[in-house]
Amino acid sequence: MDRNLITLKSPSLILAGFGALAKMGEEAGNLEARKALLVTDKGIVDSGISAKVEKVLTDRNISVDIFDQVIPDPDIACCEKCIDQAKAGRYDLIVGVGGGSSMDIASVTSTLCTNPGTVHDYFGVNLLKKQGIPAFLVATTAGTGAEVTPNAILTDTAVRLKKGIVSPYILPRAAVVDPELTLSMPPRVTSFTGMDALTHAIESYTSMNATPLTDMYAREAIRLIGGSLRTAVARGDRRDTRYDMSIGSLYAGISLANAGVGAVHALAYPLGGQFNVPHGIANGILLPHVMEFNVPGDVVKFAEVARLLGEQVEHLSPVEAAYRSVEAVKNLLRDIDMPKTLTELNIPRSAIPEMAAASINVTRLMANNPRRMTAKDSEKVFENAF
């Protein structure tokens, strides 16, 4: 099999590490922005993080208004409210601050200020025609990777479906990943956003669309997250650990944006859509079971995942080493106090056939999976997760 062609989609600027937020102020100054809309949620306002971002901008004589109505798994109505405010205010900079939800709403708002019509016109791939007004995305978790991915997800409540706008114009002018902003993240949020990031790294590393370039990011992401997630949950105030988590999550996001994710994310969709299970928790529960199914699809890479997660594999056969990656993830879940079964979440077993059917319909992601998965296979994986 030929290796996949290397392509790299990424924001034109990435600022990552302690001090990244201050540097963002400089960039906003370079853009000669005068009026910014900060898009976030109430939790980020209460935590004081949005005030920190606001100060960086006002110090550059940029006036700031705040839209703080972003909700988890935002729906179209939430996004339209933000777009209305942005259009009325004639801003020259949009700054999304938060997890995936706030960053996605900020990206869509930026593009709908310059493209005609409504969000409904742009669900799908490459439908946006124009660059939006400049957007900066400031990640406050480590994380969703939304600051570096060219897609934004909204819930269409009318049909109870998540819909995506996929376009290079969804990428921000600058992605800002400052670990300082994650220091006060509670352990529960650290654990499930961290598992989302680890899932991005492992799924994109073993994706059919992986390239030597995405492998480079994914491997380092697995090593960094595997080496720091336990400590980040146990001692969230450790700056070295938060740094590793932030950079690991960023690299996982770059790998995901270019290689895609697979069956874990496909199976997590119905758990989120039908039972409102938070994305990172659904991924965490499913990850080891999907990996166990996927091992025969790429023994070499799963053996490498085990090694990157710190397992001693030198004395093992390649297949034994590959299955050790599954054990490594299970041990990690135990140490960060994550739910490990769907039983713990009170999901009824009777939902399995419908969830399996829904997961197989996510063909965009299933196409990336290293082993072909049928509806029967998906049912089996769900059963193992109970």
Find the shortest distance in angstroms from Cβ 259 to Fe ion. 13
Find the shortest distance in angstroms from Cβ 200 to Fe ion. 6
Give the residue nearest to Fe ion (CB): 196
Find the shortest distance in angstroms from Cβ 195 to Fe ion. 9
Between 41 and 196, name the residue whose CB sits nearer to Fe ion. 196
Between 236 and 280, name the residue whose CB sits nearer to Fe ion. 280
Between 104 and 196, name the residue whose CB sits nearer to Fe ion. 196
Find the shortest distance in angstroms from Cβ 315 to Fe ion. 34
Find the shortest distance in angstroms from Cβ 3 to Fe ion. 25
Token pair listed for 322: 């590959």
Between 154 and 321, name the residue whose CB sits nearer to Fe ion. 154
Name the site residues for Fe ion (rule: CB under 5 A): 196
Find the shortest distance in angstroms from Cβ 150 to Fe ion. 14
Between 27 and 196, name the residue whose CB sits nearer to Fe ion. 196
Please, what's the largest Cα pairwise distance for the chain? 65
Between 54 and 196, name the residue whose CB sits nearer to Fe ion. 196
